[in-house]
Amino acid sequence: MSARVLVVDDIEANRKLLQAKLSNEYFHVITAVDGVDAIDKAVAEEPDVILMDVMMPRMDGVEACRQLKFDPRTEHIPIVLVTALNEREDRLRGLGAGADDFLTKPVNDLQLLSRVRALTKYKMVADELRKREAGGKRLGAIDVVVSGRAQEPARILVVDEHERQAKRICRYLEGLHRPMSLEEATQFGIATSMVDMLIVSLSNEKLDGLRLCAYLRSVESTRDLPILVVSEPDDEKKAVRALDLGASDVIFKPIDSEELNARVKTQVRKKRYLDALRSRLDQSMELAVTDQLTGLHNRRYMRAQLEQFVKRANMGGGPVSVLLADIDHFKKVNDVHGHHAGDDILREFGRRLRENIRPMDLACRYGGEEFVVIMPETSQATAQQAGERLRAIIDESSFSIGRGEQLQVTMSGGVATTFPPDDHMDDLLKRADEALYRAKSNGRNCIELEHAGVE
C-alpha cells in the first residue's frame, strides 16, 4: 500500500534514515526540519501520515501536533510522534495533543511499517468521505453541519477471557465512557456493530484475538470499528500482526490507566470524525432526492424509480400504477392569500400524502402543485380506490394557512397503469395526465382513470 509520508526531524541523518526505510517500501516521502516547517508542508502537500520527532527547535513535535489537529485542513491526518524517550509523561502529553501513535528511537522497522500502513488505511477512508463531502458542498447539497457526538460517552466492549483483567479495564474507563465485558454484552444482547470501540486481548485462548480482528474487518457493519488490542510486552510480533490485520492501535501490559484513556479518546475521536462525514454524506444524498418544501421525493428521484418499475412490469413483473394529483385552484390561493399560504398548503398536502400511503408506495412532488404517487404491484382498480381515499383525506378537513385562517382544499387526480410488454414511463405519465385533465374538466375534486382500451 503506497502513501505519502511527511517525515519531520531537525537532524538530517534521522530524516534520511526514515526516508530510506519508507522509500524502500515504496512510500513517497516528504521531509520537514521542524514543527513550523511541518505545519506548512502538511497544508501544502496533504500527506497521508506524519512521522514527527518530539524534540525540535522553534516548535517541538507536540505543539506542532496540537496545531495540526486544531486546523480543519489537517485534523484528519494521522500523526505518529517519534521520540528518543519512552517516558509515560511524554506519551500522555503527545496523546493529549492528538497524536495517533508513538514510536521510540531507534525505530523498529516492523513497528514503523505496520503503524504507517494501519494509519494509511484510516486516512484513505477519511479522504474518500471528504472528497464526496466536497462534491456535495459544490452542488449545494450539503449546507447544514451535523451535530457531533464528541462529548458523549462511548460504548466500549472489552473482550478478555481473564475476568479480573476485563474488570480492571472497565474500571479504568468508567466515568468517561460506558465499558462492558463480553459477558455483559451477551447478557444484554449487544452486538459488536452496536458499540463505538472494541478492546481485545491478544492473550485469549478460546477466542483468537487476531482472527477476531480479521473477521471484524471483513464484515461491513464493523469494517471501520476502532479496535485497540492489548498485548504482552514481549509479544511484539503478535501486536504488529494485529495491526496488519486491521487493529487500530496497540497498548502493552501492564496497562497504564491514563494512557489507556488517552488512546481510547484518540480512537473514539477518529471514529466520530468519520461518522460525522458519513452523516453529512447521508444528508447530501437525502437532499439530492428530496423536495425541500414538502419533504417528499423530488421529480428526479421519481423518474429514476418509475423507470425501473416500468421496466420490471414489462419483463413480467406485477403492474405499476401511478396517481397524478393536482391541487385544485392553487393559483387562486397564491393570488389571494400570498405565497406563504401556498407553501403552507403544499407542506400539509405533502404530509397527508406521505402519511396515508403504503410503505411500498412512493409519494413525490412532480412540480408546482402537481404530485405523483407510484404504486408498485398495484392493479388499476386498486389504484383508483387508493386515489379516492387520498382525495377524501384531502377534502375531509381544512388546511391552516397561519394566523388561525383555514382553507378548504381539494384535489383532482388521474390514474394510469402499465401495459406490458413495451410500455414507457413517459407514456404512462402522459396517460395519467390526460386522465387528470378529464377530472378537472368534470368539475374537479374527483379521480379519473386513463381511457379504457389503451394498448
CATH number (domain holding residue 251): 3.40.50.2300
* Contact of 81 with 65, CB cutoff 8 Å: yes
**How would you class 171 by CB atoms within 10 Å of its CB: exposed for 0-12, middle for 13-18, buried for 19 or more?**
exposed
pLDDT of residue 269: 86
The three cell numbers locating residue 303: 423518474
Between 1 and 343, the more confident residue is: 343
Kindly tell me if the per-residue pLDDT of 145 is higher than 60. no
Please give the residue that has the higher pLDDT: either 314 or 85. Answer: 314
In a domain, 145, yes or no: no
What is the predicted pLDDT for the residue at 220?
86
Query: For 374-393, what is each residue's pLDDT tens digit?
Result: 999 999 999 999 999 999 99
| HSE of 229, CA atoms in CB hemisphere, 13 A | 29
Instruction: Select from 249, 283, 317 the last residue of a domain.
Output: 283
**Count of domains observed in the chain:** 3
Amino acid present at 63: E
Compute CA distances 436 → 43, 214, 354, 396, 397, whole Å.
59, 58, 20, 20, 22
2 vs 356: CA distance, rounded Å: 54
Q: What are the residues whose beta carbons fall under 8 Å from the beta carbon of 161, sequence distance 6 or more?
A: 201, 203, 204, 205, 206, 207
- Tell me how far apart the alpha carbons of residues 79 and 64 are, in angstroms, rounded to a whole number: 10
What is the reported pLDDT for 157? Answer: 94
Whether the per-residue pLDDT at 453 is higher than 50: the answer is: no
Compute the mean pLDDT over every residue in the chain, rounded to the nearest whole number: 88
Q: pLDDT class for 143, splitting at 50, 70, 90?
A: low
Query: Are residues 306 and 228 part of one domain?
Result: no
Query: Is the confidence at residue 138, as pLDDT, over 60?
Result: no
- pLDDT (0 to 100) of residue 410: 96
Rounded Cα distance between 21 and 411, Å, is: 73
Does residue 430 or residue 108 have the better pLDDT?
430
Write b or e for each residue in 333-354: b if 16 or more Cβ atoms lie within 10 A of its Cβ, otherwise e. Answer: beeebeeebbbbbbebbbebbb
Q: Which residue has the higher pLDDT, 150 or 130?
A: 130
- Strand 4-8 versus strand 28-32 pairing type: parallel
CATH assignment at residue 406: 3.30.70.270
267 and 162 in one domain? Answer: yes
Cell numbers describing residue 16: 534520511
pLDDT confidence of 28, banded at 50, 70, 90? very high
| Tens-digit pLDDT profile for residues 164-175 | 999 999 999 998
For residue 12, pLDDT beyond 90: yes
Q: Per-residue confidence at 233, pLDDT binned at 50, 70, 90?
A: confident
The reply to whether 122 and 223 lie within a common domain is no
Model pLDDT, residue 74: 93
Of 136-145, 210-219, 381-390, the range with the lowest mean pLDDT is 136-145
* Three-state DSSP state, 318: coil
The answer on 116 and 190 residing in a single domain is no
Strands (E), 171-226: 178-181, 197-201
**Average pLDDT score over residue span 9-22:** 94
The pTM for the full model equals 0.62
Among the ranges 138-142, 255-259, 272-276, 340-344, which has the highest mean pLDDT value?
A: 340-344
Query: The C-alpha cell of 123 is what?
Result: 486516512
| Tens digits of residue pLDDT in 68-106 | 999 989 999 999 998 876 667 777 888 888 898 888 888
Mean pLDDT of 108-123: 86
29-48: b or e for each residue (b if 16 or more CB lie within 10 Å)? Answer: bbbbbbbbbbbebbeeebbb
Residue 372: which domain range?
299-449
Burial class (CB in 10 A: 0-12, 13-18, 19+), 211: exposed
What is the percentage of the chain residues whose pLDDT exceeds 70? 93
pLDDT value of position 147: 47
Question: Is residue 362's pLDDT more than 80?
Answer: yes
- Region 198-218: mean pLDDT is 91
289 falls within a domain: no
Catalytic residue, candidates 75, 161, 286, 369:
369
Which region among 238-252, 270-284, 347-361, 404-418 has the lowest average model confidence (pLDDT)? 270-284
- Spell out a b/e string for 302-311, using b for 16 or more CB atoms within 10 Å of the CB, else e: bbebbeebbb
Active site residue 174: no
Q: What is the pLDDT of residue 377?
A: 94
In a domain, 294, yes or no: no
Among the ranges given (17-26, 126-135, 179-188), the one the predictor scored with the smallest mean pLDDT = 126-135
Q: Which residue has the higher pLDDT, 337 or 403?
A: 337
Query: Does a structural domain hold residue 149?
Result: no
The residue-averaged pLDDT of 346-371 equals 94
| Domain closes at, from 230, 255, 283 | 283
In a domain? residue 455: no
Residues near 89 by beta carbon (within 8 Å), at least 6 away in sequence: none
Shared-domain flag, residues 179 and 231: yes
Residue 266, pLDDT > 80, answer yes
Last residue of a domain, one of 113, 138, 163: 138
Interatomic CA distance for residues 349 and 370, integer angstroms: 10
In degrees, rounded to 5, the angle at the alpha carbon of residue 366 between the alpha carbons of residues 361 and 372 is 30
Q: Could you tell me if 124 and 180 lie in one domain?
A: no
Q: How far is CA 281 from the centre of its chain?
A: 6
* Placement of cell 397524478 in the chain: 324
In a domain? residue 146: no
Q: Look at residue 149 in the predicted model and tell me its pLDDT.
A: 54
pLDDT at 235: 87
